[in-house]
Amino acid sequence: MTATPSAPMTQDQLKTLVGQAALAYVTPDTVVGVGTGSTVDKFIDALAASGIRIAGAVSSSVRSTERMKALGIAVLEASEVSSLDVYIDGADEIDHQGHMVKGGGAALTREKIVADLAKTFVCIADESKQVEALGRFPLPVEVIPMAAAQITRRFAAMGATARLREGCVTDNSCHILDVTGLRITDPAAFEADVNQWPGVVTVGVFARNKASVCLLGTAEGVKTLTF
């Protein structure tokens, strides 16, 4: 009798898989940094269901805070901790060195703040997020509203196109530009440059706060990449 080939896992199932795999990085009775997005939602659900007792979570968004509180996970302010062992978050893109593009969910500024508190950044992502070079996904840039037009012109001068994300106001009352037409060959230099343009709150390249580990959901299961 021939074995029936199993159906390939959906992207949603891969997200569930890596959300559960991230539990291995949670040390009981510590405070955990928690990112934002549909993959992180799977991690939050897995954490709540796991019975692992943690001292609380520092959240990167109103969205994750609300989800955690609804599931009985205590949420602390970033100002209440001086460091975190681990920060667990998704990504829109991750390259082979652990550099990421983030901000598809508009939470990039708080994500970078919480990531900066953590000793280890665990990225959880399905394999569609892995890229050779950053720039395929439109790069989110959080900006002070009055500077949006001039920042758009600066990107145009680089040959890129920045579009205002319609109807999006961030948790910090700012706007998001989504930038296409970039190929980011030196993520650290790009991040440092764009971050100091007047009016830029945060650029969605995470090079300084890159991933330490990536749990990548693939058809063969979870691959652990370390950087």
Residues near ligand 5RP (CB under 6 A) are 35-39, 89-92, 102-108, 111
Residue with smaller CB distance to ligand 5RP, 62 or 189: 62
Residues annotated as part of the active site:
111
Min dist CB 204 to ligand 5RP, Å, is: 7
Min dist CB 106 to ligand 5RP, Å, is: 6
Residue with smaller CB distance to ligand 5RP, 29 or 166: 166
Bridge partners of residue 162, in order along the sequence: 179
Residue with smaller CB distance to ligand 5RP, 1 or 95: 95
Return the biggest CA–CA distance within the chain: 68
- Yes or no: say if 125 and 89 are a contact pair by the CB < 8 Å rule: no
Min dist CB 101 to ligand 5RP, Å, is: 8
